[in-house]
Structure 1
């Protein structure tokens, strides 16, 4: 039997017994106007509005849609809303568990339903980036012939993870993480809506704030935690969900951390200073506080990239590539798995040898430039590729370093105003010890001293 999750029988059963489905399913919007967040996609006349037949111009022409965004931002919800608004069958598959055989079965079922009953099908394919190129190719005939309306979801950049023929035939919609206000509004609606908790419990401000923090912009996570906490409160006979009950239910302590206030900057500062001080355990503590408070993992990754250059530099030349790779991985996978990547990078940076030589070097050079120590570019270094440059003396006398033994020519590079200035003063820590030896030899050669 095809995995049709929203058949008429299932919906009728849910109407008779609203508690038969998880809260996140019961609170799933039925129209685009019910959708929380994603306002950039819901404006009048937008492609998404046109896809469901709203506004001038009728339905959008795309035969498939690709929804790209972090987990819990409403990709499944939007697919379901489109199917409801267009009165189409809704069939959901996951690329993790389904293969070409299952996809073809849904497509064949869609063709039969359209031919026999005039009922078109929406195929929602979650995590399409997990499909191989060959598996994605199998979708093309159905998309081109409009046997089904394909709505595919991915948390990874579709320009890298989806084949070009499918991408070119699709309407690409980018979803954004829900804001704290979006999550807060969703929780309040779930508390009072008859499809939700229907006023069975209340949610005090401190518990609500904690729920918003642990949600991390993920609507499904927020509603799942709310449902569990509400069940625990009702079982205890409590009229409201206390912070203690919430903590007990989600097995997570309420973290004193204000993502928009002083604590945000204090904890972020403490993380970087702990890495700078090579205290790996303290660094992991502050990283954990940021993660548990629902901090944006991309913010943490950016701070680690800065630390790699600011505090480690050439003492460990692999630190910056590692931090950049961590940031890319975090952007692709998101929480909760991104916590592992951030831990990996934090440990590596904390235990790396430290040097701020690159930091002080550029600071000193910029300070001189701001003070007016610039000067004219030496004539032999100026551009000599245009007509008349030779008459001006530009590029005349320049020695091509590759033509001399050792690859270093004894000639002047710096303007007169800073000639002899030494901005880079390498340390003897880690790999930078090698640079300390090299830079002195290079400077000698530039002055015409030493041997090749």
Structure 2
């Protein structure tokens, strides 16, 4: 078995990490100690100890541990496991913990099939998922479960994991192994808090390093670095959305450094550069808008350029667009304008178009009043105080920032002329 499988903790004292859940007085620790739970959902990135924790819980509660996979198990497998649990409970009184790895891969019908037996206590369910359970686990099952989020191990915890592995007789029987501080630090950093990845890299380093003359296998920084091909970033669906959210919010907050960091993270994780470019274009209108109209031109040009150039050079183009948008003055007035106008169109009676604005390019239009009274602003110095909307509404409110401050001056001036014109017409 791989080292990570050989070294699964047998008791809580051997379990490293998740002190926010397993520390004294924490809810999960209390539930385990009291042996009072019917269903638990453990979510978190790979290698944070979801399976190991489930096995420890089964040992502490003296329960039979039955494991299913959300990828390969069927409804028939679920029924078979539950039938075995019912028989076991009837004959010996022993409880069964049904562990479903990657429970997010179970269909709704498969998850539904668990409900009755979880409810009546035939099985105690522990589900593990790398996805957000609020999106991938049915509500009925969530309402019957304690839901816990496991966090990646810290670098200190990862160092403890390495030290504990080297001191465990199950790790490298018959071998004497020493790992330098530099090597342990490198593995703790590059593994991104993934215990499985850490132990896999440690095992490769040990098995591929010849022993010295004294028979000791010494793993230094060079051996550790050669055992990890590329630093992996925990991403997945949640990482995709969370990183994209942080990326946008950093640009919105005018923090170019943070925005470029999240850009680099997405690129390293293999995110589609076209997705990134589209998000920048949307941001240029949604969050910069007319405060700097050039932002949309820069973003659109970047989107076209990355499609033509591709990686690795596309990262430079994206970085230019990101830093420009992050440091540009911000205004969401255009977004707010269309939101307000859309709400009025959706909920209120559609406003009739003033007769003067209606199409008059056909015979007989004038007899209907279409186009009658319309004055072309180009024929009147560029502006005419006439009615363009049959009701008094304000949707676009330019902000006093960047180029939009100049727009605001013009808009306020034109509105004052229209207001004066309406007042004058009312007094005639």
Equivalenced residues, count: 317
**8 Å CA contact 1:29, 1:35 repeated in 2:** yes
Alignment equivalent of 1:76, drawn from 51, 61, 67:
51
Distance 1:115 1:27 in 2: 33
Match of 2:388 in 1: 405
Match of 1:249 in 2: 227
Distance 2:323 2:389 in 1: 30
Structure (1 or 2) with the larger CA radius of gyration: 2
Moved more, 197-206 or 353-362: 353-362
Match of 2:28 in 1: 48
* 1:22-61 correspondence to structure 2 within 5 Å: 22-52=2-32, 54=33, 58-60=34-36
Match of 2:115 in 1: 140
Change (3 A) 1:317 1:116: farther
Change (3 A) 1:39 1:318: farther
Change (3 A) 1:70 1:244: same
Alignment equivalent of 1:220, drawn from 185, 188, 196:
196
Distance 1:166 1:200 in 2: 48
Distance 1:107 1:76 in 2: 19
Distance 2:316 2:66 in 1: 44
Aligned-partner SS, 2:67: strand
The structural deviation recorded for 1:229 is 0.7
The structural deviation recorded for 1:202 is 1.0
> Over residues 23-75 of structure 1, what are the superposed CA-to-partner deviations in whole Å (9 max), with x where a residue is unaligned?
112221111222111112223344433444x3xxx322x31111122221111
Distance 2:109 2:181 in 1: 51
* 1:105-144 correspondence to structure 2 within 5 Å: 105-144=80-119
Match of 1:208 in 2: 184
The runs of 5 or more residues in structure 2 that have no matched partner are: 233-249, 271-275, 290-294, 300-311, 332-385, 423-428
The structural deviation recorded for 1:132 is 2.2
**8 Å CA contact 2:67, 2:99 repeated in 1:** yes
Alignment equivalent of 1:180, drawn from 155, 166, 180:
155
* 1:145-164 correspondence to structure 2 within 5 Å: 145-164=120-139
User: TM-score, normalised on structure 1?
Assistant: 0.58
Distance 1:244 1:310 in 2: 49
Alignment equivalent of 1:88, drawn from 63, 66, 76:
63
Distance 2:326 2:390 in 1: 25
Distance 1:287 1:172 in 2: 28
> Over residues 241-286 of structure 1, what are the superposed CA-to-partner deviations in whole Å (9 max), with x where a residue is unaligned?
12222222222489xxxxxxxxxxxxx9xx957988xxxxx998x5
Distance 2:77 2:63 in 1: 19
Distance 2:393 2:145 in 1: 59
Change (3 A) 1:360 1:48: closer
The structural deviation recorded for 1:190 is 0.6
Distance 1:421 1:442 in 2: 11
Distance 1:42 1:204 in 2: 30
**8 Å CA contact 1:71, 1:155 repeated in 2:** yes
> Over residues 182-206 of structure 1, what are the superposed CA-to-partner deviations in whole Å (9 max), with x where a residue is unaligned?
1110011111222223672111122
**8 Å CA contact 1:316, 1:352 repeated in 2:** no
Change (3 A) 1:409 1:118: closer
Change (3 A) 1:103 1:361: closer
Change (3 A) 1:159 1:405: same
The structural deviation recorded for 1:179 is 0.8
* 1:364-379 correspondence to structure 2 within 5 Å: none
Structure 2 residue 218 is matched with structure 1 residue 240 = yes
The structural deviation recorded for 1:77 is 0.9
Tell me how large the CA RMSD over aligned residues is.
4.7
Change (3 A) 1:173 1:353: closer
Change (3 A) 1:66 1:406: same
Match of 2:341 in 1: none
Aligned-partner SS, 2:66: strand
The structural deviation recorded for 1:422 is 4.7
The structural deviation recorded for 1:172 is 1.7
Change (3 A) 1:440 1:168: same
The structural deviation recorded for 1:349 is 4.1
**8 Å CA contact 2:259, 2:322 repeated in 1:** no
Distance 2:125 2:55 in 1: 12
User: TM-score, normalised on structure 2?
Assistant: 0.61
Match of 1:264 in 2: none
Match of 2:346 in 1: none
Change (3 A) 1:409 1:178: same
The structural deviation recorded for 1:352 is 4.8
Distance 1:348 1:312 in 2: 20
The structural deviation recorded for 1:165 is 1.4
